[in-house]
A and B are shown apart, each in its own frame.
Chain A
Amino acid sequence: MVNIIWAAMAIVGILYAMFNGTMEDVNKALFESADEAVTISIGLISILVFWLGIMKIAEKAGILQILAKLFRPVVVRLFPEIPKDHPAMGYILSNFTANVFGLGNAATPMGIKAMEQMKELSGTDTASRSMITFLALNTSSLTLIPTTVIAIRMHYDSASPTEIVGTTIIATIISTLAAVVVDRIFYYRSIRRG
C-alpha cells in the first residue's frame, strides 16, 4: 500500500504538472525537498544521540523496568503480545509520557527503541500487531498541550491563546480511543482472513 501511495503521489504530481505548466516548480521542489529531508535527518542526530545515550543508562540502571511495572495494568491490555517485563514496555511508556507532555523530540528516539525491541520479539520485517497498535496511538497524537499551536496563537495576538487546550484535549482523547478501536477491528479482521 505504501509503495502504491508513494509512487502515485509522484506520478500524479508530474502528470498534473505537464498540463498545468508547473514543471519548473516541480523541478525546483524535487531538489529543494531532498535537501530539506537530509537536513531533517541530520538534525535528528543530536536528539537521537542524546536520548538514546540517556535511555541506555536508564535501561541498565533498571529504571525502564520500574516504569514498566508501574503502568503495567493499562499497557498490558493494549499490547497483549509483549511479555510483561520486557524492555519494550519501558520504552513504550517513555514514548507515551514524553508525547503527553508535548516533548516530541524526546518521544521519537524512545519510540524507535520500542519498535526495535518489538522487532526483536517478532523477528521478521513484517509489522507486528503490537507495532501497529503502538503507531496507531502515536499517529492519533497523545499530546495534551499543543505548544506550537499556542505559540502561533500568541504571535497573532489571540485574546486567549490557551483557550483551545480544552477542545484539543477532548479531540485528542476521541482520536486516540478511535485509534485503539480501529486497530482492534483491523487486527481481528486480519486473523479471520487467516
Chain B
Amino acid sequence: MAVITLISTWLIPCFIMLVLIVATWKRVPAYELFVEGGKEGVKMAFSLLPFLVGMIVSIAILRASGALDAFIGLISPVLGFFGVPPDIVPLALVRPISGTAALGVTTELIDTHGPDSFIGRLASTMQGSTDTTLYILTIYFGAVGIKKMRYALKVGLIADLIGIIASIIIVTIVFG
C-alpha cells in the first residue's frame, strides 16, 4: 500500500521532469509548445460548459423533485428479493448517473453503518470500482462534438450493472 501511494505521488512530477528533459535534449521549443497546448485547454473547457450544464440540471431536477428517491423506494424490495441489501440500492442506482450524488450516498452509508460494517465495506467497494458513466460520456463526447453516441450508453450501463453485482458477490465472499 505504502509503495502504491508513493508511486502515485511521484508519478506526475517525475513524468513532467522526463518530458522537459527529453524536450530540451531534442531542442524542441518546450515553453512555446506548452502555451500552444494550453490554449486548446481553454477552448475545450468552454466547449464542455453547455454539455455539463444541460446534463447536471436535468439530473438535479430529477433528484430535487423527489422522483429519484421514490423510484428507489419502489425498486428496493424487488432487488432485495434477489439478495441485494436494500440499504445499498440507492448507491447502485445513483452511481452511473451522478458522481457527486454517489459520493454523498457512500459517505452517508459509511456514517450510518460504520466504515467496517458489511454495508460500509460494500459501499466503499462499489464507489471505487465503477465510474460515473453519464458524466464520462457527456464530457468526452461533448468535448469533441460527437452527436450520435450509438451503443456507447448501453455498453457503459451494462458494464456498471455487472460491476455492481460483482462488488456484492466479492464483498460477501471476502467479508461476509
Roughly how many angstroms separate A12 CA and B107 CA in the complex, as a whole number? Answer: 27
Interface string of B139-176 (1 = CB under 8 A from A): 11101111111111111101110110011001100110
Most chain B CB atoms below 10 A, which of A38, A56, A166: A56
Contact of A146 with B158 at beta-carbon distance under 8 Å, contacts A138-B140, A171-B170, A190-B151 already known = no
On chain A, the residues within 8 Å of B38 by CB distance are 49-50, 52-53, 56
Within 8 A of B (CB), among A116-135: 116, 119, 125-127, 131-132, 134-135
Assuming the contacts A106-B12, A136-B159, asked whether A48 and B45 have C-beta atoms less than 8 A apart, the reply is: yes
Q: Which residue of A lies closest to B173 (CB)?
A: A167
A143–B128 contact, CB under 8 A?
Answer: yes
A37, B94: Cα distance in complex, Å:
18
> Inside 8 A of A33's CB, which chain B residues have their CB?
56-57, 59-61
Residues from chain A with Cβ under 8 Å of B58 in the complex:
6-7, 9-10, 13
**CA–CA, A61 and B21, complex, Å:** 10
- Interface contact A149-B166, CB-CB below 8 Å: no
Interface residues of B in 1-41 (CB under 8 A from A): 1, 4-5, 7-8, 11-12, 16, 18-20, 22-23, 26, 28, 30, 33-41
Which secondary structure dominates where chain A touches chain B?
helix
Tell me the minimal C-beta distance from A81 to chain B in angstroms: 14
A residues 62-109 near B (Cβ < 8 Å) are 62-63, 101-103, 106, 108-109
B interface size (C-beta, 8 A): 99
> Is there contact, CB below 8 Å, between B49 and A38?
yes
Q: Identify the interface centre among A16, A108, A119, A171: most chain B CB within 10 Å of its CB.
A: A171
CB distance from B43 to the nearest CB of A (A): 9
Question: What class of interface size applies to chain A in its complex with B?
Answer: 35 or more
- A127 surroundings in chain B (CB, below 8 A): 141, 146, 148-150, 152
Q: In chain B, what residue has the closest Cβ to A27?
A: B64
8 A Cβ contacts from A1-55 to B: 1-2, 5-7, 9-10, 12-14, 16-17, 20, 22, 25-26, 28-30, 32-34, 36-38, 40-42, 44-45, 47-55
Q: Which residues of B contact A48 (CB under 8 A)?
A: 40-42, 44-45
Instruction: Assess the A63–B129 pair: CB atoms within 8 A.
Output: no
The distance from the CB of B65 to the nearest CB of chain A, in whole angstroms, is 4
Q: Interface residues, chain B, CB within 8 Å of chain A?
A: 1, 4-5, 7-8, 11-12, 16, 18-20, 22-23, 26, 28, 30, 33-42, 44-46, 48-49, 52-67, 70, 96, 103, 106-107, 110-111, 114-116, 120-121, 124-133, 136-137, 139-141, 143-156, 158-160, 162-163, 166-167, 170-171, 174-175
18 pairs, A vs B, C-beta closer than 8 Å: A9-B59, A20-B67, A25-B64, A29-B57, A37-B55, A52-B38, A54-B37, A109-B44, A111-B140, A143-B131, A146-B124, A152-B124, A153-B120, A156-B115, A157-B115, A176-B159, A179-B159, A190-B151
Inter-chain pairs besides A52-B44, A178-B162, 11 sampled, C-beta below 8 Å: A30-B61, A36-B60, A53-B33, A57-B30, A57-B37, A102-B8, A145-B5, A147-B8, A149-B128, A167-B175, A175-B160
Interface of A toward B, CB cutoff 8 Å? 1-2, 5-7, 9-10, 12-14, 16-17, 20, 22, 25-26, 28-30, 32-34, 36-38, 40-42, 44-45, 47-58, 60-63, 101-103, 106, 108-109, 111-112, 115-116, 119, 125-127, 131-132, 134-136, 138-141, 143-149, 152-153, 156-168, 170-172, 174-176, 178-179, 182-183, 186-187, 189-190
